[in-house]
């Protein structure tokens, strides 16, 4: 068991669906209370992303033991997005099958990540996908592994600063301890929070 995997969706996470609030542009001052990015960049009005978020993700994935993967219906086209927004090295990232339903009837992304986590055996993994909000089986699986932090951003907003801060903290803890920062739930056992 080694390394940290980060699985990234594009739409609803890195590329927000919603419009940027009026008055928010590259020159606007940041509102520290808002949990919003201070500035956004847009390409053709279709892609909308905060440059500061990209800088912070680049910093996370610069660590030797952190490996990013695409888990997005963009599949092989994700490299185009990565280049557009400036994710370093993203042209070479592995993408996992993500479209539709897997042979076993599961959400394809869920089937792909399960298999991938089993194969690569990371100490810790982060899975960001707005559709996780509608996939309780996938969320339950992530929790039960004790090592997959699954987060569903609000798709109109995309990944928020506070959410990225939480991810940075979890990865820092994994680096410090060499172990998953999530409480491990042994198969068949109940969550440790529950009193006996
Ligand atoms: Mg999405």
Q: What's the gap in Å between 13 CA and the centre of ligand 1?
A: 6
pLDDT of amino acid 5: 98
> Given a cut of 90, is residue 71 above it in pLDDT?
yes
Question: According to the model, what pLDDT value does residue 161 have?
Answer: 95
What's the gap in Å between 132 CA and the centre of ligand 1?
Answer: 9
CA–CA distance from 51 to each of 25, 59, 82, 117, 151 (Å)?
Answer: 12, 13, 12, 29, 21
Q: How far apart are CA 122 and CA 8, in angstroms?
A: 16
Give per-residue pLDDT as tens, 74-133: 999 999 999 999 999 999 999 999 999 998 889 999 999 999 999 999 999 999 999 999
The CATH architecture that domain 4-176 belongs to is 3-Layer(aba) Sandwich (3.40)
Q: Which one, of 154, 178, 148, 169, lies nearest residue 65 by Cα?
A: 178
pLDDT-derived band of residue 31, with 50, 70 and 90 as boundaries?
low
- For 44, counting Cβ atoms within 10 Å of its Cβ (0-12 exposed, 13-18 middle, 19+ buried), the class is exposed
Q: How far is the CA of 31 from the centre of ligand 1 (A)?
A: 26
| pLDDT of the residue at 77 | 96
Ligand 1 centre and the CA of 196: distance in Å?
A: 39
32 Cα–ligand 1 center, Å: 26
Q: Which residues surround ligand 1, an ion (CB under 5 A)?
A: 9, 11-12, 130
pLDDT tens per residue, range 15-30:
998 877 655 554 444 5
Predicted TM-score (pTM) of the model is: 0.88
Closest of 124, 17, 6, 18 to residue 56, by C-alpha: 6
Q: How far is the CA of 150 from the centre of ligand 1 (A)?
A: 13
Q: In the chain, helix, strand, coil percent, each to 5?
A: 35, 15, 50
Residue 32: its pLDDT value, please? 57
Taking the centre of ligand 1 as the mean of its atom positions, its distance from the CA of residue 151, in whole angstroms, is 11
The string of pLDDT tens digits covering residues 138-190 is 999 999 999 999 999 999 999 999 999 999 999 999 999 999 999 755 554 45
């Amino acid at each position: 068991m080694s390394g940290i995997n980060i699985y990234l969706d594009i739409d609803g996470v890195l590329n927000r669906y919603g419009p940027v609030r009026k008055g928010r542009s590259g020159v606007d001052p940041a509102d520290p209370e808002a949990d919003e990015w201070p500035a956004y960049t847009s390409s053709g009005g279709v892609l909308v992303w905060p440059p500061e978020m990209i800088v912070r993700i680049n910093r996370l994935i610069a660590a030797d033991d952190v490996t990013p993967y695409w888990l997005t219906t963009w599949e092989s086209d994700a490299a185009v997005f990565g280049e557009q927004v400036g994710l370093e090295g993203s042209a070479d990232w592995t993408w996992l099958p993500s479209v539709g339903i897997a042979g076993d009837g599961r959400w394809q992304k869920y089937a792909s990540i399960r298999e991938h986590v089993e194969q690569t055996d990371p100490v810790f993994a982060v899975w960001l996908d707005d559709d996780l909000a509608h996939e309780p089986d996938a969320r339950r699986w992530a929790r039960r592994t004790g090592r997959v932090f699954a987060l569903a951003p609000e798709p109109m907003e995309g990944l928020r600063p506070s959410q990225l801060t939480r991810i940075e903290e979890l990865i820092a803890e994994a680096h410090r301890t060499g172990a998953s920062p999530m409480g491990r739930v042994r198969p068949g056992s109940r969550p440790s929070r529950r009193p006996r």
